[in-house]
């Protein structure tokens, strides 16, 4: 076994070799394998899991050399060609493609290869190209959040796909009847709230087309209104007994348990949204002032919330015992490599679902938002005003908070009419 030596700066930091190969690697990536291995180690991969990744990267580098492919011309397409041409089905591992994707990210972040070209793909369909341009406009010109952009793009793409299929994309052929029929189909398939979202997205897209001069008619005015009365339901809150059962289900002697317990406390004690928890960083906490800076998912408004003692203690316990060592500034990290932030709000939902299953309870509703509703209902029962609740939950409109008046049974009972007759 021939061990390839580290660079001098790596030897100064550690005399333990991270990787070894039977033969010295060749090709344009060979001189960067030390740095790649260190990067994988920093992402949380063990030395055992780094070894097969280094072998694959060395093989890929040798293939690039054989095919006279330099770093200046390297692209994601070469990864696919390599996987199809070199790797036999029986020799492929599940982690091979993610390994090479991490390699490409490393090379790009190190400015060793060019960034992927998004707007010049000859294979992109006309609809995909239109959605790319529309999405760029939503982000740049309207400063919408990425989740909102994704929702708008989904409906717009669906509309164009139903109207044009795989044919020529000719916006001049769009008529008011196309718009009305699309919304009618959405209204028959989805809930009123979902159908209303379709109308909002479609109006946005049609205004965009007119602004770009792609259509001459004001088709946005043809989008029909879908009835969706607000305040028709009641808050879907998990009971306090179930909240305590969920918190008790976390094994706080494990790294995962420490993390999940702190997250569940943020949901139940402060009523944070899933996206707000994912966005928290190490800089969000002011330990001297005992406050937590939260950037709202709706409007991006920054708020300073008091940090309850039990929530602060849980976060400290996680930072000391459960949080992996990482340069990532996100407060909550993945447990398994690659070590990074939780990524999206669906991660919080998965944590909630797992905690509910461990607790062995069956609340009437699922998801993380039920903890936010539960906090509001509990504060209302303790005598807090709707204004105070709206301030804590960072509602932009008072109307949003007023829905909790429906669960204030004490106040409702005082204004209820007596039952006629002798019946009680």
Are β-strands 302-306 and 291-295 bridged in parallel, bridged antiparallel, or unpaired?
antiparallel
Range list of H helices, 227-344: 240-248, 255-269, 274-278, 309-317
233 φ, ψ (degrees, to nearest 5): -105, -175
Q: Contact 39/337 with Cβ under 8 angstroms?
A: no
For residue 298, indicate whether it is catalytic. yes
- Where do we find the tokens 């239109």? 130
- Where do we find the tokens 């950037």? 295
Q: Comparing C-alpha atoms, which of 33, 52, 41, 53 is closest to residue 14? A: 41
For residue 413, indicate whether it is catalytic. no
CA distances from 77 to 89, 106, 147, 310 (A): 19, 16, 28, 51
Q: Report the DSSP beta bridge partners of residue 358.
A: none
Long-range contact pairs involving 296-300 (C-beta distance under 8 Å, separation at least 24) = 296/394, 297/145, 297/147, 297/273, 298/396, 299/396, 300/145
Q: What are the residues whose beta carbons fall under 8 Å from the beta carbon of 26, sequence distance 6 or more?
A: 61, 62, 65
CA dist., res. 352 & res. 375, Å (int): 16
CA distances from 269 to 259, 272, 292, 308, 349 (A): 15, 8, 13, 8, 17
Choosing from 372, 381, 394, 399, which is the catalytic residue? 372
Choosing from 334, 369, 373, 394, which is the catalytic residue? 369
Q: Order of strands across the sheet with 291-295?
A: 285-286, 291-295, 302-306
For residue 78, indicate whether it is catalytic. no
Choosing from 273, 334, 373, 394, which is the catalytic residue? 273
Choosing from 395, 397, 399, 413, which is the catalytic residue? 395
Q: 313 by DSSP, 3-state: which? A: helix
For residue 158, indicate whether it is catalytic. no
Indicate the angle between helix axes 369-381 and 255-269, nearest 10 degrees. Answer: 50
Structure tokens at 63: 């293939």
Choosing from 97, 175, 298, 321, which is the catalytic residue? 298
For residue 102, indicate whether it is catalytic. no
For residue 404, indicate whether it is catalytic. yes
Residues assigned a catalytic role? 273, 298, 369, 372, 395, 404
């Amino acid at each position: 076994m021939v061990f390839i030596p580290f660079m001098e700066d790596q030897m100064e930091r550690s005399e333990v070799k991270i990787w070894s190969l039977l033969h010295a690697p060749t090709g344009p990536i060979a001189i960067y394998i030390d740095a790649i291995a260190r990067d994988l180690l920093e992402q949380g991969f063990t030395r055992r899991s780094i070894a097969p990744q280094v072998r694959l990267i060395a093989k890929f580098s040798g293939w690039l050399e054989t095919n006279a492919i330099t770093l200046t011309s390297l692209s994601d397409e070469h990864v696919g060609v390599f996987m199809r041409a070199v790797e036999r089905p029986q020799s492929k591992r599940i982690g091979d493609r993610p390994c090479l994707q991490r390699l490409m990210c490393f090379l790009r972040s190190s400015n060793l290869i060019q960034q992927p070209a998004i707007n010049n793909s000859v294979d992109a369909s006309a609809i995909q190209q239109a959605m790319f341009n529309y999405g760029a406009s939503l982000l740049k010109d309207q400063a919408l959040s990425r989740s909102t952009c994704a929702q708008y793009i989904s409906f717009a793409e669906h509309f164009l796909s139903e109207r044009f299929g795989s044919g020529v994309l000719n916006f001049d052929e769009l008529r008011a009847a196309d718009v009305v029929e699309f919304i009618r189909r959405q209204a028959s398939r989805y809930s009123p709230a979902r159908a209303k979202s379709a109308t909002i997205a479609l109006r946005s897209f049609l205004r965009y087309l007119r602004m770009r001069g792609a259509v001459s008619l004001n088709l946005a005015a043809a989008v029909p209104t879908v009835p969706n009365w607000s305040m028709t339901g009641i808050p879907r809150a998990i009971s306090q007994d179930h909240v305590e059962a969920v918190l008790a289900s976390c094994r706080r002697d494990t790294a995962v348990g420490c993390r999940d317990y702190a997250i569940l406390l943020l949901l139940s004690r402060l009523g944070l949204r899933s996206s707000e928890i994912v966005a928290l960083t190490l800089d969000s906490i002011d330990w001297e002032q005992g406050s937590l800076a939260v950037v709202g998912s709706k409007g991006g408004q920054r708020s300073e919330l008091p940090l309850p003692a039990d929530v602060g203690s849980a976060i400290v316990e996680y930072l000391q015992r459960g949080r992996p060592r990482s340069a990532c500034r996100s407060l909550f990290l993945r447990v398994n490599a690659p070590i990074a932030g939780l990524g999206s709000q669906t991660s919080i939902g998965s944590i909630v679902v797992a905690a509910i299953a461990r607790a062995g309870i069956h609340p009437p509703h699922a998801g993380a938002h039920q903890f936010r509703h539960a906090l509001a209902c509990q504060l209302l029962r303790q005598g807090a005003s709707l204004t105070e609740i709206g301030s804590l939950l960072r509602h932009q409109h008072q109307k949003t908070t007023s829905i909790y008046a429906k669960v204030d049974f004490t106040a409702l009972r005082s204004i209820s009419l007596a039952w006629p007759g002798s019946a009680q």
